[in-house]
Amino acid sequence: MTALSQWTLFFPYAVAFWLFVVGCFGITQSRNLIHTILCLTVVQSSTYMLLMSVDFHAKSGAPIFGSTNPPGSPSVDPILHALTLTDIVVGATVSALMLALTVQIHRRRGTIDPQRLRPMSD
């Protein structure tokens, strides 16, 4: 394996790291709750990226076996896809809850700027 392709194998992990950090950074700079929720989705994309890159094999297909790829031929690991799917469901739940809270906070406070919302500060 050439040095270049070694590095390309690391590339998805670097992207996952970058997404996590940049998403969190986005939240720290956020002045709008909708923006915050989108940043959370960015952070979550890093988990998708990591799970998918763990799974990646250049030469293998989906784990659906038939005449072209008989059972036993190389395929990707379906468990990671199941994990990613569960992760998506979890993320959707939290985003929905947070959007509902955002609507409600806008009704009560008239703003969705997190810097101006503070439950109790000393």
**Binding stretches for another protein (CB under 8 A):** 16, 20-21, 24-25, 27-30, 33, 36, 40, 43-44, 46-47, 50-51, 54, 77, 79-80, 83, 86-87, 90, 93-94, 97-98, 101-102, 104-105, 108-109, 114-115, 117-122
Query: Min. distance of Cβ 68 from another protein in angstroms?
Result: 25
Nearer to another protein, 62 or 101 (CB): 101
Spell 2-16 as b/e; 16+ CB within 10 A means b: eeeeeeeeeeeeeeb
Structure tokens at 7: 């590095």
Q: Which residue type does 55 have?
A: D
Q: Whole-angstrom Cα distance, residue 74 to residue 83?
A: 20
Query: Min. distance of Cβ 67 from another protein in angstroms?
Result: 26
Residue 71 is given by DSSP the state T
CB 24 within 8 A of CB 16: no
Query: Min. distance of Cβ 36 from another protein in angstroms?
Result: 6
Nearer to another protein, 68 or 115 (CB): 115
Nearer to another protein, 62 or 97 (CB): 97
Query: Min. distance of Cβ 31 from another protein in angstroms?
Result: 9
Nearer to another protein, 67 or 115 (CB): 115
Q: Whole-angstrom Cα distance, residue 76 to residue 99?
A: 35
Structure tokens at 68: 């072209």
